[in-house]
Amino acid sequence: MIISQLICLLGFVIRLSNAANATFTNPILPGFNPDPSCIFVKEWDNTFFCTTSSFLTFPSIPLYASKDLVHWKHASYAISRGDQLPELYRNSELQTEGTWASTLRYRDGKFYLITSYVSWHDGWGPIILLLTTTDPYDDASWSGPIRFENPEKEIDPDLFWDDDGQVYMSVARGIFIHRVDISTGKILETFTVWNGTGDRNPEGPHIYNKDGYYYLSIGEGGTETNHSAVISRSTTISGPYEGYESNPVLTAKNTDAFFQTVGHTDYFQDATGNWWCVALATRSGPAWEIYPMGRETVLSPMTWDEGGWPIIDPIQGTMSGPLPPANTDLPGDGFWAHGGDEEDFRPGTQIPRQFLFWRPPKESLFKVSPAGHPNSLQVLPSRANLTADSQFEPLEDGMGFISRKQSSSVFQFTVDLEFDPKDADEEAGATVFLTQYQHIDVTVVNTRSCSTGELEQKFRFRPEALGKPGVKVPAARTITVPQAWAGKRMRFTITLDESQTYHFTVAPADKPDEELWMGSASTDIVSGGSGPFHGTLLGVFATSNGGTGKTAAYFSRWRYHPLKQEVESGVFLPIKE
């Protein structure tokens, strides 16, 4: 271990001395962007492409593009229609279901993305899916998916083409390599090759053919603070594979590093032959308690000498490497991964590309600039609220919830609401959402007075922490909507400060200085628990809470301003949009 660390440190020092190097900050894909797989495609104007996991968010499986490894723009979603994967409509108490780790590859003019849909609906039985496109900037161009055989019921599929044209799919846990028919998903031959160094959960395999060897890179140790990346190699695809004596090649375990849970790597070269590593990491420090954005994508330079083993610089918030020249000239109408929002829902526009649902939406619940309410997003109330219930049917009921990823350590999120509820228990407002069992809401709700029986509108602050028993949760709080505010648009504001505390206020939209403080809550409420693989979403919702209400909520002037990123414990850098 000491020799391995010295080698990594030497590589880092050499890079720092290279005058051509430039600094960059991690994460490169901030917020809920775990399990990265990245490639460089010369034929597409020397562009890098990365994909990350989605779980139950929808559209699913984002593809990002970059020219310089620093500025990343959303290109497309591999799954943008519910009928591509109807299983996503399933209701389950387990919030970790959905689309897990993918592998992205390019060959002969076509992008290939192989992934797994994971569910415990009928017992453990992941479905392996292959999607392809010839235009990475067009959602509609993604074909499929083709459903692959999966006899081991495994996850984290990888695709590899050998020099003879044969195609291989490797899968986790206890690594299997299958020779496959890529046109049908049929398995033609199977090899059991390597279980890693003996740690638990060997997963996330990727195969690379280099210098006469087949290198097999995997993650192990679980995706918590024991996570690490290890590697082996063989002179034949079927093995035997010999592990690197200085494994792991990348980890943060047993360190006090701010970036923890480091692993699930993928390796690629740039236009000049430099090697790069992407991995997932959590900005939590070794305590692993506060990490509301969950697992994010980080980048590190690496060396991989001929006939040797990869040497990867340890993950830090600020790093140096031989970056391509700065370049933001990318096509498409996507959003920037580090960017904010200024959405006014103008007539004739669509739901913004960065907006996400929890499972495929019931589309009739959402409309941009409906008649009589221009420059607003109409959200009709769903029967179920954010926590839902055992009778919740995602396809039929839908969830009146729409969101975007929290992508910065310090931010301000504001949205205006026009809402005049008529029936009891109608509710609409804003939320910080990790899962159905962990969210923090500030809303307008129609309640019945205990003394008079009359309906009255209340502002309500309410944290939900069913998914994390034992966490300290502030008490719910209600305030009667002031009479002078009745009938006015309300402005909801959520801020996150450097102490990692969310603050919630409400105010008349035309007098935002007259705000009422509704409550504050620590980010540990939305860290881990029922969403250990997830990151927080910032959004709005409307619900009848199981009642008969049909009153629409109209949201407008949606603003998300990312202000600072924490790059080391207690070190915050301003974000330049």
The residue with tokens 């620093």 is: 70
Beta strand extents in 344-454 (DSSP E only): 357-358, 366-368, 377-379, 401-405, 410-418, 427-435, 438-448
Answer whether 162's CB lies under 8 Å from 125's CB. no
Cis peptide leading into 240, omega within 30 of 0? Answer: yes
Instruction: Compute the distance between CA of residue 14 and CA of residue 6 in angstroms, rounded to an integer.
Output: 12
Instruction: Compute the distance between CA of residue 40 and CA of residue 201 in angstroms, rounded to an integer.
Output: 29
Contacts of 325 (CB under 8 A, 6+ apart): 68
Exposed, middle or buried: residue 122 (CB in 10 Å: 0-12, 13-18, 19+)? exposed
Instruction: Compute the distance between CA of residue 573 and CA of residue 577 in angstroms, rounded to an integer.
Output: 12
Instruction: Compute the distance between CA of residue 535 and CA of residue 281 in angstroms, rounded to an integer.
Output: 12
Instruction: Compute the distance between CA of residue 281 and CA of residue 229 in angstroms, rounded to an integer.
Output: 12
Local structure of residue 149 (DSSP, 8 states): P
Active site residue 164: no
Which of 45, 93, 498, 514 is an active site residue?
45
Which of 203, 266, 313, 427 is an active site residue?
203
Phi, psi of 283 (to 5 degrees): -85, 80
Structure tokens at 234: 């063989």
Contacts of 387 (CB under 8 A, 6+ apart): 436, 437, 439, 464, 466
3-state secondary structure of 477: strand
Rg (CA), the chain: 24
Local structure of residue 69 (DSSP, 8 states): S
Active site residue 344: no
In 3D space, the residue among 217, 157, 151 whose CA is nearest the CA of residue 189 turns out to be 151
Instruction: Compute the distance between CA of residue 417 and CA of residue 428 in angstroms, rounded to an integer.
Output: 8
Per DSSP, what are the bridge partners of residue 358?
57
Q: Indicate which residues carry an active-site annotation.
A: 45, 203
